[in-house]
Chain A
Amino acid sequence: MTQSVIIEAPADGADVPVTASHPRVRWILLAAGLVAALALPWFLYPPVAMDIVALALFAIALDILLGYTGLLSFGHAAFWGSSAYVSGLIATHYGVPFPVAVVGGAVFAMILALPIGYVSVRRSGIYFAMVTLAFAQMVYFVGYQWSDLTGGENGLQGVPRSFFGLELVETDSFYFYYAALPILLFGMWAAWRIVHSPFGRVLVSIRDNTPRARALGYDVDKYKALAFVLSAGLTGLAGGVFAISHRFVALTELHWTTSGDVVLMTVLGGIGTLWGGIVGAFLNVTLADYLASSGFGGIDLITGSVFVLVVLLFRRGVWGTVRHQWNVRRLRRAAARRAAPSYSSPDRSSRHPASGEGTGR
């Protein structure tokens, strides 16, 4: 009896708890994640490993909006792609070390996100998604037409990978991975900080109950716009590294399918889990890579089917499901511990020893 009550409780509304589950587990996971990030290019073709980490940051940046603010942006290719182009152009024309070019791209993405975010956050739900998509299409059009600058359909070719004259990094993708990894890890850390700051709690309060957040005294549109700009900035970091890693910027990076892919990765990993984006990016990239190398033509058919299956079977995404199962088990154990000494009073009051009150609401 007691158990079922406690286990059901978090399923109500706390699908996405912001609080830490368990400090020790968290450290273990963090260490495991870092080891995995460092080991990745030993097991995978280094450029593929780089793609995974860059797309992981992309998905994490999107999750700040999708999972924590409740806004589905369907136009994040605008920030990913424009930062890729700007990073590539800076690297090409100024020959600066690539981190400088990447930061330049990210700053550009944030500047671009200011007007887009300002207008888009006035709407929510499907309208927000459509407005962001419309803006992204405009950016795509500019990238397509301004071929003197962007190379149009041919893309931006021969982007140099300058890094303080360190030839190994500049020529070998394996070493480049380790030079670029800190930028992306910084982005992930920043996303974590944003979500766990007082600002992040306000975002969650907007997601869960917008009128309430407004009545508490928060200018909801301003917070949403700021979240949008921050998300675009982190997306820009990822897009810049991606461009430098490939030494090439394709028009695809601005295409709406890129916006779709990142939503897919975020949902696959688990909305509102942040780290789910890593799982989503890993599955997406390795699956596509495996299928491509096996010579199979219908990659999208398989990745699409996987997506449908995951959404149908694990609504919380891969990471979200794992975390939920873990939380349920932990609560069950805690309940068992609490219930053991007080079996003499098998009523619900053991749940609220202080109030001694009935069901309430």
Chain B
Amino acid sequence: MLEVTGLSAWYGQARALHEVDVRVDEGEVVSLAGRNGAGKTTLVRCLIGLHQQASGTVRLHGRDITGLPAHSRARAGMGWVQDDRGIYASLTVEENLLLPPTVSDRAWTLARVYETFPVLAERRKAPGSTLSGGEQQMLAIARVLRTGARLLLMDEPSEGLAPVIVSRIAAIIRDIKATGAGVLLIEQNVKFAATVADRHYLLSQGRIVETLDNDEFRRREGDLLKYLGI
């Protein structure tokens, strides 16, 4: 579904990514782990089209979207759950959910969103600024599902959340996977990644240094924790 080949990116003269290859299939959750500064966020920004200084090809559903601007990529089915959640403080929960355009017939209806995220149904009239961190994260995920995106790029969805909310988000990611959508999970939280992802990429200094399946990932969890410095 998502095929990235030879992706390199720069910030001025500084090279942030070196010939990165990433692949996410339908109904697959793939994690991307790496230390701070390894290039995780740069990779995401390249994929959604917000970072321009890049080379290589990005294909979504067999379609070459390399040259497309961010808004066209979104229309092609690329959904971004950003690490700061990007909730619109001045809009209510429901207005946030009504905001995104529908990009495919897989778009979730409002009723389905409220069924899956009862918290949002309860707070539908609340302004975005009054949500807790967990509620914001739910809303950020729900908002992307509303578009019908086929590929979700989730940047640190477990960051700063209470364990009970993290496990709720893991369950939601598994639900999304079951619908056949692909998920690329940017995660420093190794334990969380191991509970939801099928495959893992290790990113270091702008390069993919290892690709692991989940069994191996679990076996080396201790190593990886040390390696990621957490």
Contacts and interface: CB of A to CB of B under 8 A. Distances in A.
Contact of A18 (B72, B95, B164): B95
Given A9-B129, A13-B129, A216 B118 contact: no
B74 to A, nearest CB: 3
B75 A217 contact: yes
B132 A355 contact: yes
B133 interface: yes
A329 to B, nearest CB: 16
Contacts of A12: 89, 129
B147 A355 contact: no
B100 interface: yes
A357 B132 CA distance: 8
B90 interface: yes
A204 interface: yes
B86 interface: yes
Nearest to B100: A216
A327 to B, nearest CB: 10
A355 B135 contact: yes
Interface in A343-361: 352, 354-361
A23 to B, nearest CB: 13
A201 B95 contact: yes
B70 interface: yes
Best-buried of A6, A13, A212 by chain B (most CB within 10 Å): A212
Nearest to B163: A357
B88 interface: yes
A295 to B, nearest CB: 46
Contact of B127 (A14, A215, A352): A14
A95 interface: no
A15 B91 CA distance: 11
Given A217-B71, A357-B164, A209 B86 contact: yes
A7 to B, nearest CB: 11
A28 B172 CA distance: 45
B212 interface: no
Contact of A205 (B99, B122, B132, B164): B99
B74 A217 contact: yes
Given A13-B128, A17-B127, 11 more contacts: A13-B129, A15-B90, A19-B91, A201-B95, A214-B49, A214-B74, A216-B74, A216-B101, A217-B100, A217-B101, A357-B132
Interface of A: 6, 9-10, 12-19, 198, 201-202, 204-205, 208-209, 211-212, 214-220, 352, 354-361
Interface of B: 48-50, 69-75, 78, 80, 82, 85-86, 88-92, 95, 98-101, 103, 118-119, 122-123, 125, 127-130, 132-136, 143, 147, 160-162, 164-165
19 contacts: A6-B130, A13-B89, A14-B127, A198-B98, A201-B95, A205-B91, A212-B86, A214-B74, A215-B50, A216-B143, A219-B71, A219-B72, A220-B71, A354-B118, A354-B119, A357-B164, A360-B132, A360-B161, A361-B160
